[in-house]
Amino acid sequence: MVAPALAAIAQQESAEMADTMRSNGKIYVVVAVILTILAGLILYVARLDRKITRLEKGE
């Protein structure tokens, strides 16, 4: 997210996109990080879901 901040100052040229991160492959690191966070949150929610299902069946 640093790229947009820097690019915002250099506004006179045509829109600068984050091609650097894409060209050196680091964007995939960002994707991996976000997917990991998402996976962690989803697993947490799924675990809660299973716990509640078990409580409901227990009655």
Partner 1 sequence: MPKNWWKILCVVLLAYTVIAGLLFPVPALRQLQETIRNLYFHVCMWFAMMILFTVSVVHSIRFLSTLDLKQDIKAMNYASTGVVMGLLGYATGAIWASYTWADPNNPAYASFGSIVREPKLIGAAMALLIYFAYFVLRSSIIDIDKKARVSAVYNIFAYAMLFPSIWIIPRLLPSLHPGQEGNPALNYNDIDARMRLVFYPAVIGWTLLGVWITTLKIRLNLLKEKKWMNA
The site for partner 1 (CB under 8 A) is made up of 1, 3-5, 7-9, 11, 14-18, 27, 30-31, 34-35, 38, 42, 45-46, 48-49, 52, 55-56, 59
Distance (Å, whole) CA 49 – CA 42: 10
CA 38-42-40 angle, to 5 degrees, is 55
Measured from the CB of residue 13, what is the shortest distance to partner 1 in angstroms?
A: 9
Q: In what helix (H) or strand (E) does residue 58 lie, and over which residues does it extend?
A: helix 27-58
Measured from the CB of residue 23, what is the shortest distance to partner 1 in angstroms?
A: 13
Closest CB to partner 1 among residues 24, 49: 49
